[in-house]
Amino acid sequence: MIQQTSLQSYQEILPDLGKRQRVIYQAIRQYQPVSNGDLSRILHIPINSVTPRVKELREKYLVIRVGTKRDRLTQKTVMMWGCIQ
């Protein structure tokens, strides 16, 4: 269940985001914790389009690092993202 204040805040944020930022933000909210590679695979968007949008969302204090994991495809340690609200 989503608190009313969270829903209101979420609705206020969306108009200020670009289309790609909004898509990535919504995916992070839905799948968190999630990595850039996960987002790329889930959304069928090249990772070089995902990474800058995640950085922009971090700069807006909408997304934070919530941990790390080993990526199943690359076997590299990657950062995991989650939403603040």
List all residues 6 or more positions away from 12 whose beta carbon is below 8 Å from its beta carbon: none
pLDDT digits (tens, 9 = 90+) for 44-64: 999 999 999 999 999 999 999
Domain count for the chain, please give it.
Answer: 1
Domain containing 78: what range?
4-83
pLDDT in tens, the chain (85 residues): 445 555 455 556 666 899 999 999 999 999 999 999 999 999 999 999 999 999 999 999 999 999 999 998 889 999 999 998 6
Domain containing 70 — which CATH number? 1.10.10.10
- Which residues does residue 81 pair with via DSSP β-bridges, in sequence order? 34, 65
pLDDT of residue 16: 83
d(CA 71, CA 79): 9
Q: If residue 60 lies in a helix (H) or strand (E), which one and from where to where?
A: none
Query: 57, 5, 59: which is closest to 32 by C-alpha?
Result: 57
The predicted structure's pLDDT at residue 84: 81
Reported pTM: 0.80
